[in-house]
Structure 1
């Protein structure tokens, strides 16, 4: 570090900084070195830089219109002014969601449109003044401005100083050649001046700039994380609205599932027990006609009808078990799952550890979940053994079915597991499939207890 007294000159040149071939080797750079030149970092930098002018516009509009509207509330004019303010911040919210989507890759759904039950300006103003999403947009317009100022200053400071210090060896010659100074001035008064003007100091400056430059993308990423939270929390649908949409979707799944089950029961009755009972009635009618003419033939027909009755009863029992098994109602999951396991084509070990019985609806879903998973093992897994574990964790009912089969099970569209996952989701349940090719398969289901 050189100290100059009076007027003087520094060194006319300094060490260079060579970066040839960096573009070709970019993919070989470690993440800390690659972060400052990644497209994501530049997009986040652009988001922060553009956030300040947008924030100024939103803040000015929101505060001006809201203050004017509140001041005019003593007259009728305050209501349309407030409605216009809320409508304006809704427009700014759409701009912010688009900016977050384009620069941050953040997908935030738009809030539900206004529900205006009647036609006319008064109905529209009443609807927007009662809209919670519009007021959250107004809050965002106010709080985003000071945060955008802070983010802008921090980002620009770190970015500018980092790159300036990193590239100092490239433009060091500007000062002694064109500025008449010895280099980058750190201190100066009438008596003396301090410059960075020798190779060691220039190298240290560049290394310090490299550290700041590598740290800046992570600082910006932390700042934009706050922006992500604000955009998602204040500019998207409310939690209540999202929950309503989720429940509506789940209700649709439940209705579709119930309709499919009814169609299945109707088909099974029509093609199975009903057809057998029709044949039984016809056989008994023929036996009645032959009873006086050929008693032996009539006896054979009655014997065949007796067999048909047994088969029809067995089909009705199977059908009733598929609707809701009596053993589940009478003795609970342990006995019901043991009964299902006994019908599986591979040996199944069942372990049920429950302090009490859950709600009947949850118990039924758990039973049919394990039943379908064991059917899949019998049909597709080519396993030699399987285990079923059922236990409770706090307010959740846990099911796990494991087999040593060939694996490869996936929750894909149209598969049985996809339908099972939809059924569980309809009651706030979760299905997790871990089934690598070659096995083993481990399928875990989580259901609310609701005891």
Structure 2
């Protein structure tokens, strides 16, 4: 297993760069000036005209196409309208990608089974992505109006009240009144004109201004959900892609295991057996000339046989240990823990055994993690816990080593995470620098 312990590398998350770490103000106070806030606010501003045009286009295209269905021309008009809406959907994905930093894949393209215009029309009409775009245009229009009104109102009111001490002088100079009028009738009028009232107005404006970025973020969260759910790939298509990727991981892992077994056989037991055959041949030739030398050679060959048998047992254990098949995870993990250079406590709480494939993945995951602890962690003790929660099998390994373990590309932990993902499992690593390290693997039960 690759070395996964050490100094953590920098990531691209907010707050990691030196410029962000030098900020004296907390994020809540910087939010009104943050690029993300203004980018999301710009998205909301653009949504209103775009959603209005898309809604009008969708209603017109569907109404015209449905009205002309009594004639042949209605079907191509409807298909052309759906194709146009698919183009608007591509534009919306691009806009979400640039302003909301939302990475959403493209839906399945239109694939007519035959060449020709009618085949293309049929493919467009049968495409679920086309009709999801229609639904998006209907749902996004009222939401765009609501989010535009709310965001613009809060943003302008917040900044207007916050800067009120700077422009309050406009009222007495140009309107003949003392300030913003809160109440007025024939006998009484209330204006914001005293220093205390002006300060309170600015304070309220500050609170509204600080809260508006989080309100805008909440509004755009709905946009993210709509773009992802209606303009991205369907759940079925995403699942097919995921399964294809998982199948590739499984095939690559199986091929790597076969290469490892072949290499171990070639470099280990096979080479030792070839050497053993040569030694026995020499011993046979010397049997009559020098029986004592032949006996020594046979004795050495006997020792080589024992080593070869041990290597074959280790290789078989690496493929699938017999103790796992016969006695389950408790006994198999106890055997692995006994070979670890660090004292390991094993606690397996299972009322019955999971599926053999899941049991094997859990065993080899624990085995690799314990090997990693032995080689790189510098720990003085470790603990292995296995239990079942509902329909999930959980495996947790903890050590008190130096920490700094990471799921980076090419590392052993990344390989384990890929194996977990191939069976809808999850690998979570919590390893701050200085320790302790906790690795939790969650697998489907499938018993």
Does 2:362 align with 1:366?
Answer: yes
Instruction: Tell me: CA distance 1:298–1:335, structure 2 relative to 1, closer, same or farther (3 Å).
Output: same
1:106 matched to 2:102? The reply is yes
Is 1:222 paired with 2:218? Answer: yes
RMSD: 2.6
Q: Which moved more, 1:44-53 or 1:284-293?
A: 284-293
User: How big is the shift at 1:165?
Assistant: 4.2
- Please say if 1:54 is aligned against 2:50: yes
Deviates more, 1:332-341 or 1:116-125: 116-125
What's the counterpart of residue 196 of structure 1?
191
Return the structure number with greater relative CO, CA threshold 8 A, min gap 6. 2
Q: 1:217 to 1:30 in 2, by over 3 A?
A: same
Quote the residue 2:402 is aligned against: 406
Alpha-carbon shift at residue 203 of structure 1 (Å): 5.3
Look up the match of 1:375: 371
1:112/1:237 contact within 8 Å kept: yes
Tell me if 1:242 matches 2:225: no
Where in structure 1 are there 5+ consecutive unaligned residues?
A: 1-26
Match of 2:353 in 1: 357
User: Match of 2:397, SS?
Assistant: strand
Larger radius of gyration between Structure 1 and Structure 2: 1
Whole-angstrom CA distance in 2 between matches of 1:248 and 1:103:
31
Counterparts of 1:84 and 1:362 in 2: how far apart (Å)? 50
TM-score of the two chains, using structure 2 as the length reference: 0.86
TM-score (norm 1): 0.86
Matches within 5 A, 1:318-337: 318-337=314-333
- Contact 1:427 1:448 (8 Å CA) reproduced: yes
Distance 1:351-1:210 versus aligned 2 partners, 3 A rule? closer
| 2:51–2:140 CA contact under 8 A, matched in 1 | yes
- What stretches of structure 2 of length at least 5 have no aligned partner? 1-22
Deviation of 1:32 (Å): 5.5
Deviations 1:309-339 (A, max 9, x none): 2222111111111111111111111111111
**Contact 2:178 2:193 survives alignment (8 Å):** no
The answer for the alignment partner of 1:299 in structure 2 is 295
Q: How many residues align?
A: 425
CA contact (8 A) 2:269 2:312 kept: yes
The separation in 2 between residues aligned to 1:129 and 1:54, in whole angstroms, is: 24
Aligned to 1:231: 227
Structure 1 CA distance for aligned equivalents of residues 389 and 92 of structure 2: 42
State the 1:385 CA deviation: 2.2
Match in the other structure for 1:345: 341
Of 381, 385, 391, which residue of structure 1 is paired with 2:381?
385
2:149 paired with 1:150: no
Query: Does the 8 Å contact 1:185/1:193 carry over to 2?
Result: no
